[in-house]
Amino acid sequence: MKDADELPPQILWLRGYEMKGKKANPFAESTLQADNDVRAKWIKAGCWTAFILLALLEVWTGRNYTDPDGISYIDMSDGVLAHNWRLLVNAYWSPLYPFLLGAARWILRPSAYWELPAVHCVNFVIFLITLACFSYFFKGASLATRQDDRAHGPEMGLPTPVWTFAGYSLFAWSTFVLVNGIRKVCPDLCVAAFVYLDAGLLLRLRVKANKLPTFLLLGITLGLGYYAKAFMFPMAFVFIAAAFFQAGEWRKAIVPSVAMIAVFSAIAAPLIIATTETAGHVTFGDTGANNYARYVCGEPTLPFYSSVPPRYLTHPLDLLHHSPNVYGFGQPFHSTYPLWYDVSYWDAGFKNSFNLDAQLRAVVQNLNTVFNQVILPIGVSLVAYLVLFVMGPGLAGSLWNISRSWPLIGPGAAGVCLYLSVYVEPRHIGAFVVLIGMGLLSAIRVRGTPRPMKIAKVAALTLAGWLFILSAGLPIYHMVRPLPMLLGDGGSYFPVAKSLNTSGLRPGQTVGIIGSGWDAMMWAREARLRIVAQIPLESTSEFWQIQNPRGKAEVYDAFRKAGARAVVTEETPPSSGFDDWQRVGNTSYFMHVLIPAGSTMLVR
């Protein structure tokens, strides 16, 4: 770094020196930096407060919301209450998030009415942990950026208060808009917490002299991250490679890296063994393989949609009746909707094969998703960043500065690219987009007079402000226009569940459904019922057109063979020929009783 006397007057002004003739006040820079740090702390406190309020708003407006994935995670959490830890392991869903849900349910003991609100309270706690993990990561990024500032001489990064507001706005946009992990019952917010911890530890390797403890901590977080989502297993090797190269001299990094890998392996091994035993083949998780078969290779999945299932299926569904098709699937999982409890079980037997054309089509489709749902909405921020980029030290210098941020941009880009190759949703890549964004922000350097610096501040505040507006807008929108399922006491599905229980269907009993299984999962979970048979949407019209009483009786017998005590549908039965169907309370659902309440039945 140059001495104060050697710097030009413009840079002295930018760095806060008070000019007195030709000599600068050597205490002015430290005074300005202290003032900037105080303002940055106030901005950080304001962001924390705003984010917590927005998160509480999301908890309240989404208190009764979930989707089919969420039902499967809640079903898995039953294993904690039943002390059956095997229920936390399958080859499709990861165990950490359902374990946290189960632990909270074991402590709070919520009724069916309060179960989903309790789950969203767990999401709020996870959000607070994720915010703390991001703060740890952000501090490491700030230290690294300030260190770069000292090395750049006349080039300056963003002022500390502006940098703080921009970084936290990026986090808010990712959390509330992309991941939306407070409202959704999914582990993506847990994954974000581990990504921020991993990146924070990675940055600490640049500034710490004793790197072994940091390597060991990184091994722990990488191992636990795999329990949050199987995707973090391949990502762990990206972070391991980044840590090795970040540590400095490679000879000194060998021993800490080996120790890190050993810790990671020791933590990950039990889950790999359990998942392999469950799946029947060596695997760290089948989610990626299943998604590749579905979205890239175009293989049929959940084969009850076809009367002739593919020959390669290891566990084809039981076709109990043909035209209309009635499928039974009560075994081997005792869950709300077994077909979505462990998808890899029902899809077992497929063989993935690489096809270049199919792969390219999938990448193009995923890029289109990212452009429309991630890039396009933040166009204002991207334009503002382009202004900052142009104000840098030329194209070559700006690209060089960006390349210096490889410890953030590299893992972030790797995470995004892995998803792009198979299937991507914004919630999948939210945390990785933050790493890329923080890497690009840390590469900003402005050279020149105070006027360019003022322009840079305006551009940076525009960038951050637009992200902040998007982040605050979504929870407010949810408050103003709640989803239909959130209306009424406990949401629209709770009255259905309550009426079914009142009609004689007790928790733990089994039902069949006509129509979609996705909505049925909601009321079935709240009523504590198990769906064991189904007429899919494609065959419902065939059933409602049956006029022959014998034909209807054969369909009902098929449901009885699966063990169903009643058949439930959201469709309105025809006015003639279906007088034996009764409305479920005051809801839009209808039910046909197969086994009267109090009667016993034999399940094959």
Q: Which of 520, 516, 514 is nearest to 497 (CA)?
A: 520
Could you tell me which of 342, 318, 341, 323 has the C-alpha nearest to residue 603?
A: 318
Amino acid at 506: R
- Which pLDDT belongs to residue 100? 97
Tell me which H or E stretch contains 20: strand 19-20
> Among 480, 507, 526, which residue terminates a domain?
480
Instruction: Report which DSSP code applies to 318.
Output: E
Same domain, 253 and 208: yes
Instruction: Mark whether 450 and 577 lie in a shared domain.
Output: no
Helix (H, G, I), strand (E, B) or coil at 509: coil
417 with 513, same domain: the answer is no
Q: How many domains does the chain have?
A: 2
pLDDT score for 149: 58
> Do 324 and 447 reside in the same domain of the chain?
no
Predicted local distance difference test score (pLDDT) of residue 200: 95
Is residue 84 one of the residues assigned to a domain?
Answer: yes
Do 14 and 83 share a domain, yes or no? Answer: yes
Tell me, yes or no, whether 284 lies in a domain: no
Say how far apart CA 154 and CA 473 lie, in whole Å: 39
Q: Are residues 191 and 248 in the same domain?
A: yes
Based on the domain organization, do 501 and 545 belong to the same domain?
yes
Please give the residue range of the domain that contains residue 468.
Answer: 9-279+357-480
Do 467 and 514 share a structural domain? no
Could you say which of 446, 480, 514 is where a domain stops? 480
Return the pLDDT at 600: 57
**Residue ranges, the chain, pLDDT below 70:** 1-36, 147-155, 209, 300-308, 447-450, 484-485, 487-490, 597-604
H-helix segments, 7-111:
9-14, 28-61, 68-81, 96-108
Cα–Cα distance measured from residue 442 to residue 417, given in angstroms and rounded to the nearest whole number: 22
Same domain, 342 and 384: no
Burial class (CB in 10 A: 0-12, 13-18, 19+), 13: middle
Closest to 327 in 3D by CA, of 548, 520, 561: 561
Residue 527 DSSP code: H
Same domain, 217 and 252: yes
pLDDT of residue 374: 95
324 plus 400 within the same structural domain: no
Does a structural domain hold residue 395? yes
3-class secondary structure for 297-308? CCCCCCHHHCCC
Closest C-alpha among 481, 496, 474 to residue 183: 474
Question: Is 301 inside any structural domain?
Answer: no
**What pLDDT is recorded for position 16?**
42
- Domain closes at, from 448, 480, 512: 480
583's enclosing H/E stretch is strand 582-583
CA distance 525 to 26: 68
Task: Return the number of other C-beta atoms located less than 10 Å from residue 431's C-beta.
Answer: 31
Q: How many Cβ atoms are within 10 Å of 480's Cβ, its own excluded?
A: 8
Strands of the 510-514 sheet, one edge to the other = 318-321, 326-328, 530-535, 510-514, 566-569, 590-593, 582-583
603 torsion bin: left (phi>0), alpha (psi -120 to 50), beta (else): beta
Predicted pLDDT at 403? 87
CA geometry: angle at 65 spanning 64 and 68, to 5°?
130
Does residue 291 sit within a domain?
A: no
Is residue 2, in this structure, part of any structural domain at all?
A: no
For the range 240-247, what are the long-range contacts, defined as Cβ-Cβ under 8 Å and sequence gap of 24 or more?
240/264, 242/202, 242/406, 242/407, 242/410, 242/411, 243/201, 243/202, 243/205, 243/215, 243/218, 246/202, 246/205, 246/206, 246/407, 247/205, 247/211, 247/215
Q: Are 169 and 262 members of one domain? A: yes
In a domain, 362, yes or no: yes
pLDDT tens digits, residue range 301-317?
665 556 667 777 888 88
CB 571 within 8 A of CB 515: yes
> Which pair of tokens denotes residue 323?
């035209």
Name the 3-class secondary structure at 592.
Answer: strand
Is position 333 within any domain? yes
